[in-house]
Structures are given as structure tokens and as C-alpha cells.
Amino acid sequence: MTQTQSGEAIEFPPELLAFIEEWKVKPGSLIMMLHKTQETYGFISRLAAEKLAILTGIPLARIYGVVTFYHFFKTSKPGKHKVSVCLGTACYLKGGGDLIEEARDLLKIKEDEVTTDGLFSVDPVRCVGCCGLAPVMTIGNETYGKLTKSQLPKIFEKYK
């Protein structure tokens, strides 16, 4: 177990350690290692970023620069059910922005927040690849297309 700058420790699973060991020597590999870390934990915690810095020799400031630059990376734990609303061109033009607002209003959360019960977080995504079904929302592996704001309460109820 590696102790971080903050004095706390985090244990990376063997698969993540092996991945980092393989990728840390390759130029431009930071994003790949961050994706794998986020895949493992659901987000990039301060402790995980610190440990990644120690294991790779990449300065923590550089790691945070990448994490905060790319919208995909999250620094806080998402809800159990991650709601992703597409804001690609087709979805945006057909009301994707309104769906995000409605979803957050219904769940009583703001951007980058999680519901008090820890069940839901709502994030925009750039494209889900289902343009013909616009506007589209995903929750986990489920995709909901041709959505209207009035359909959201019933969908969310399924996950409570």
C-alpha cells in the first residue's frame, strides 16, 4: 500500500496496478491510465490521483490539469445510477438541454451533485450514438430515446 501526500493510503486492485505498470512507460499514456482508474472507482479521487502520481512519476499538478480539462473525468463519486443526457447536435436541437434541466429539477440536484440518497447523478454527454432516437438519455446500460420531459418521473421511479 502506498501512502500519499495527504498521509492517507489507497489500495489499487492488481488489475489496475498491472495496467499502470504496462502503460506508464508509453508516451501520452496519462489519459489511458486515468480512464482505467475512473473505470475502477467510478471517479478520480484525490487519493487515487496522488497514488497515480507516485506510481508513474507524473506530477500531481499535471494529472489534475488533465482531469479538470476533460469533462469526462469526474472528481466526485457519481450516483449509483448515473444519468447521462446526450447533448450532441441532434439531441441538443430536439431538447436535450431541457431534459437535463428537468432531470435535475425532479431529482433536486444541481450540476456535479448527487441526490441525498446517493442514487442519482445527472451529467451531459457529447454523443451517445443514437442520433435517430434524439433526444436520448442513458441510465447505466439502458438507453431511452425520443424522450419528453413528462416521461422522466416514471423512468426514475424504476431505479428507486
- State the pLDDT at residue 1: 52
- Joined together, the cell numbers standing for residue 28 give 501520452
Burial of 101: CB neighbours in 10 Å, binned 0-12, 13-18, 19+: middle
C-alpha cell at 147: 424522450
Domain span at 103:
81-158
Residue 143 has pLDDT above 60, yes or no: yes
More confident residue, 8 or 31: 31
pTM exceeds cut of 0.85: no
Choose one of 13, 41, 69: the last residue of a domain: 69
Polymer length in residues for the chain: 160
Q: Given a cut of 80, is residue 48 above it in pLDDT?
A: yes
Residues 138 and 92 in one domain: yes
Half-sphere exposure of 80 (CA within 13 A, CB side): 8
Domain boundary among 69, 97, 119: 69
| Segment (H or E) for 157 | helix 152-158
